Amino acid sequence: MTKENNLTPDVIIKSFKDKFKTKIIDAQIKKKPAGSEKKEAIDIWMKVDKSVFKNVIKHLCDLQYPHLPVASGNDLGKNIELIYHFTLNFDKRLEEINLNISVELPKSKPEIETICDLIPGALITEREKQEFLGVKIKGIPDDRRVFLPDDFPKDVYPWRRDEKGLEKLYKNLHEVKK
Amino acid sequence: MSQTTKTTYHIPIGPIHPALKEPVYFEFEIDGERIVDVDVKLGHVHRAVEWASRKRNPIQIMYLAERICGICSYCHPAAFTLAVEKAADIQVPERAEYLRVIQAEVERITSHALWAGVAAHEIGFDTVLFLTWEMREKLMDLTEFLCGNRVTKGILTIGGIRRDITSDMVPKVTGVLDYLKDNFERLRKIFLDDKTIKMRAQGAGILTNDNALKLCAVGPTTRASGVKKDVRVGQSYFAYGDLNIDYVTPDTLTGEVNGDVYDRIIQRLLEIKQSIDLIEQCLDKMPKGDITYEPKIAKVLNQLKKAEGEGVGRHEAPRGEVIHYVKLDGNEAPFTWKVRAPTYNNILPWIPMLKGEQIADIPIVAASTDPCMSCTNRVGIVKDGNKYELTKEELHRLSVEKTRRLMR
């Protein structure tokens, strides 16, 4: 767990772009001022190709061991997007950076490597993504359900917006009860 | 004589469980009195709020968010508004930012006072429960005075806050703060100088700095292990960027960090003090002006309907960082809303905390992270295939007995 000083948003993006070149599809810095003195909160939104995802996280851990509050996800139609919200520099006054790394997975093969070996605290959020979005986390140490009950139908994922979503379930409750 | 072999056995605890405010299920592997392994199952109160949001507009979601939790009824709407304001690029008036800090800190003190009472109750100090809840009652009255409500506060709105604190209201606020300061010393004495509490809490449920970092713990739980992580300090949101605030960890008082239950008690007491200071700073510095960027809700909604973008709102709730992700796509309802409450991240740290502890320590160790799930009833013990149940009273009795033993 090396900690490098002076990790500014530009340094972070540059370091990723140098290492992964075109596999970093998009990177943006967003700033939002608050309070009377208009000091800014910094968000970095970075989209990466799924082929380098695991290496991106490894590289991030080498830069500075991040805090992973949660991963969220979107059903974008053809693809499923996972967004890992990291926090960096959290022990320095007003220097905290939100690093949101997103990766798109095709619905035909929604698979991604686990990051639990690098960040053990990612376990619950990865399990949640599996059951709610129907992505497959390869190599997850514990692939049981976490929030959904054990008798919840298989192959139904509440956050999906396609035929695998919840529509069927809540529209015909009488059929489910049978 | 038959030969006995020594094996471990399993006790399931929960989903209805004495130390927790909401259902969660533990399965303990026990060797005699020692806990060898722990497994946690969640989801007994999963109410699919994120899914329910798909048919609601952002203002309606505010009220849905408020009902995620009764104690953090300010934090969830706060994180949600922050996320929406980032996604739609709304600038909040300065005065509202200060008022938001005051509300957040009042909630923090209320929550920590509640926790202190529950923790005392877990180890059989019910008189302390009444003392802390007496303090809490004053804060609930203050909440009612400021918001009009005691529990679901309905105080926030997108782009501002709904009620001002006028100059004639300030004396009442400072009055409560003075009362808290006067009583803080009593609380400090009970929790930090009492021999029995020390014996129960010191060295119990240790979470090392390394584990806290790796398991992504948040809030007082991680700070008590020495990880400096506090959104209020690290990031500029609301008016926290203007205020004089620094990381608080137990070593500011004791000079060392152990990461045990005792440190988590110290941590919360220090945070009560910090919150009182923050409210005073806000009352001092608060600029004049509007309290919302647009008082007409229909106009706000109209703007949000057209907005496209995504945002992450992070707020330091009493139990730790709460984070919401919102994606707006030009429709009435947001495309995605993801909620993450602090306890979500404080589940995994329970495992290293509880390993090696005794059954009687379960309530206080589990309660020491201040979990936000709900409470009471019975524990079943499976021993050699015969299932028998430990009632809530029984487990509580075990905990109280341990305290009494130590007092002798």
Sequential DSSP letters for B213-277: HHTT--HHHHHTTT----HHHHS--TTTTTS------THHHHS----SHHHHHHHHHHHHHHHHH
Give the separation between CA B193 and CA B201, rounded to whole angstroms.
12
Residue B289 backbone zone (phi > 0: left; psi -120 to 50: alpha; other: beta):
left
When pLDDT is cut at 50, 70 and 90, the band that residue A5 belongs to is: low
Which member of B50, B51, B239 has the closest CB to residue A35? Answer: B239
Residue of B236, B240, B321 to mutate, interface with A, max A Cβ within 10 Å: B236
Q: Is B325 on the interface with A (CB under 8 A)?
A: yes
Mark yes or no for CB contact B215/A121 under 8 Å: yes
Question: b or e along B262-293 (b: 16 or more beta carbons within 10 Å of the residue's beta carbon)?
Answer: bbbbbbbbbbbbbbbbbbbbbbebbeeeebbb
Q: Do A120 and B229 touch (CB under 8 A)?
A: no
Return the bridge partners of B391, or none. B378
A22 interfaces chain B, CB cutoff of 8 Å: no
Cα–Cα–Cα angle for A82, A87, A90, nearest 5°? 175
Which residues, at least 6 apart from A97, have a Cβ–Cβ distance to it below 8 Å? A7, A9, A12, A42, A43, A44, A87, A88, A89
Instruction: For chain B, say whether A92 makes contact (Cβ under 8 Å).
Output: yes
Q: Which residues of B touch A98 (CB under 8 A)?
A: 235, 312, 314
Q: Where are the domains of chain B?
A: 49-343
Residue B356: strand, helix, or coil: coil
A2 CB within 8 Å of a chain B CB: no
At B125 the pLDDT is 87
Checking if the pLDDT of A2 tops 50, the result is no
Which of B111, B119, B91 shows the shortest CA–CA distance to B19?
B119
Mean pLDDT of A4-17: 86
Sort out which chain A residues have CB atoms less than 8 A from B325's CB and list them: 70, 72, 83, 85
Work out the number of other CB atoms within 10 angstroms of the CB of residue B33.
Answer: 11
Identify residue B259 by its one-letter amino acid code. Answer: G
Alpha-carbon distance B73 to B64, whole Å?
10
Q: Are B109 and B273 in contact (CB under 8 A)?
A: no
**Residue A1 pLDDT > 50, yes or no?**
no
d(CA A119, CA A106): 25
Closest by CA position to A30, among listed A12, A44, A17: A44
- CATH number belonging to domain A9-151: 3.30.460.80
B242 contacts A35 by C-beta, under 8 angstroms: yes
Are the beta carbons of A146 and B327 separated by less than 8 Å?
Answer: no
Amino acid symbol at B331: N
Q: Which comes out higher in pLDDT, residue A52 or A153?
A: A52
Q: What is the pLDDT of residues A56-99, one digit of tens each?
A: 999 999 999 999 989 999 999 899 999 999 999 988 898 999 99
Q: Which of residues 69-98 of B touch A (CB under 8 A)?
A: 85-86, 91-92, 94, 97
Percent of residues in chain B assigned helix, strand, coil, to nearest 5: 50, 15, 35
**Proportion of chain A above pLDDT 70, given as a percent:** 92
Q: What is the mean pLDDT of each run of 10 residues along chain B (408 residues)?
A: 68 66 76 84 78 88 86 90 94 94 94 88 86 92 93 91 94 95 88 87 91 91 92 92 92 88 92 94 93 93 93 92 92 90 85 87 81 36 42 73 77
| Chain B residues whose beta carbon lies within 8 Å of the beta carbon of residue A35 | 94, 97, 236, 238-242
CB proximity under 8 Å: A 61-80 to B: 65, 67-70, 72-74
**pLDDT tier, A118 (very low <50, low <70, confident <90, very high otherwise):** very high
Q: How far apart are CA A73 and CA A102, in angstroms?
A: 9
Residue B384 has a pLDDT of 39
User: Is the Cβ of B321 closer than 8 Å to some Cβ of chain A?
Assistant: yes
- Tell me: pLDDT of A177 over 70: no
Question: Between A65, A74, A125, which is nearest B335 by CB?
Answer: A74
- Looking at chain A from residue 95 to 154, which residues have their Cβ under 8 Å from any Cβ of chain B? 95-96, 98, 100, 119-125, 145-149
Q: What's the confidence (pLDDT) of residue B296?
A: 93
Tokens 């239950």 label which residue? B261
DSSP 8-state code for residue B359? G
Scored b (16 or more CB within 10 A) or e, B335-374 reads bbbbbbbbbbbbbbbbbbbbbebbbbbbbbbbbbbbbbbb
Q: Which amino acid, residue B254?
A: T
Top-level CATH class of B49-343? mainly alpha
Whole-complex ipTM: 0.91
Q: What is the pLDDT of residue B380?
A: 30
Residue A129: closest CA among chain B residues belongs to which residue?
B338
**Six-digit token pair at B140?**
């609930």
Residue type (1 letter), B387:
K
* Cis ω before B363 (30° cut-off from 0): no
Q: Name every residue whose Cβ is closer than 8 Å to that of residue B304 and which is 6 or more positions away in sequence.
A: B57, B58, B84, B88, B158, B328
Measured CA to CA, the distance from residue B312 to residue A139 in angstroms comes to: 28
Do the beta carbons of residue B101 and residue B277 sit within 8 Å?
no
Q: Which of A131, A135, A85 is nearest to A108 (CA)?
A: A135
Q: Is B25 near chain A, with CB under 8 Å?
A: no
CA atoms of B372 and B350, how far apart (whole Å): 13
Asked if A41 lies within 8 A of B50 by C-beta distance, the reply is no
The CA distances from residue B396 to B15, B38, B353, in Å, are 16, 19, 19
Q: How many CA atoms lie within 13 A of B267 on its CB side?
A: 32
Task: Give the separation between CA B404 and CA B408, rounded to whole angstroms.
Answer: 7
Write down the pLDDT at residue B54.
Answer: 86
- The answer to whether the CB atoms of A70 and B327 lie below 8 A apart is no
